[in-house]
Amino acid sequence: MSRNFIKLTQNSQAHKTFQVQKVNIVPILFFMLISLQFSNGAVYKVGDSAGWTTIGNVDYKQWAVTKTFRIGDVIVFEYNPQFHNVMQVTHTEYKACNVSSPISTHTTGNDSITISNNGHHFFLCGVPGHCQAGQKVDINVLRAPLVVPSPSGLPSTVPEAAVPAPSPSNAAAAMPFGKLGWFFLFLEILFVFYFSD
């Protein structure tokens, strides 16, 4: 009789240990899925192999127009911080190469900036003469066209101008999940229900 009691205690103990392990893995899986959900944006190195520089006559305007930027994309500026920097500025400051009141300044030499809203994002080098030499870039994030059903039953798109831009206060709420975001959200919910007893 005491033998069965010991086995029952051992089995109960093993079951409790298994339960504890399941509970501990839930936060890990949850955060892994969350990080995957928000890391599906493209990464663009400004100037490609040349990087952020005044050497080599890089045409940053031409570089930018060949890209399709979206919310969630990461813009990487690689440069020698002894000779360059990155300043985000307004459109007026961008046109005039005015660096007196930037929105933000980056100086690491390997700056990653995640695009969080639609519209133009203006960057330039604040070192005297560099912006005038062409070291500036306009990252334009277009709004995704709205797909609506047409009378023929085939989807059609509404022109970009017909889609209102999100206001700065709700720009984060307007951020789409991305290609696999809904799938990961479903998996997260499934894991939470599966592991909660």
Average pLDDT (13-30) is 54
Average pLDDT (181-188) is 66
What is the per-residue pLDDT for 142? 87
8 band by pLDDT with thresholds 50, 70 and 90: very low
Kindly report, residue by residue over 118-157, the tens digit of the pLDDT.
999 999 999 999 999 999 999 999 886 655 555 555 555 5
- Residue 189 contacts by C-beta under 8 Å, 6 or more apart in sequence? none
How many other C-beta atoms lie within 10 A of the C-beta of residue 189? Answer: 10
- Of the candidates 69, 63, 39, 40, the residue with the CA atom closest to the CA atom of residue 51: 63
Average pLDDT over the chain reads 75
Angle at 32 between CA 30 and CA 33, to 5 degrees: 65
185 band by pLDDT with thresholds 50, 70 and 90: low
DSSP secondary structure string for all residues of 85-126: -EEEE-HHHHHHT--SS-SEEE-SSEEEEE--SSEEEEEE--
| b/e 100-131 (16+ beta carbons within 10 angstroms → b) | eebeeebeebebebebebbeebbbbbbeeebb
What's 193's DSSP letter?
Answer: H
100 phi/psi in degrees, rounded to 5? -70, -30
80 band by pLDDT with thresholds 50, 70 and 90: very high
- Of the candidates 77, 75, 76, 79, the residue with the CA atom closest to the CA atom of residue 55: 79
Task: Say if residue 158's pLDDT is above 90.
Answer: no
Contact 121, 141 (CB under 8 A): yes
- Of the candidates 197, 194, 183, the residue with the CA atom closest to the CA atom of residue 33: 183
Task: Say if residue 20's pLDDT is above 60.
Answer: no
- Of the candidates 131, 141, 142, 143, the residue with the CA atom closest to the CA atom of residue 60: 131
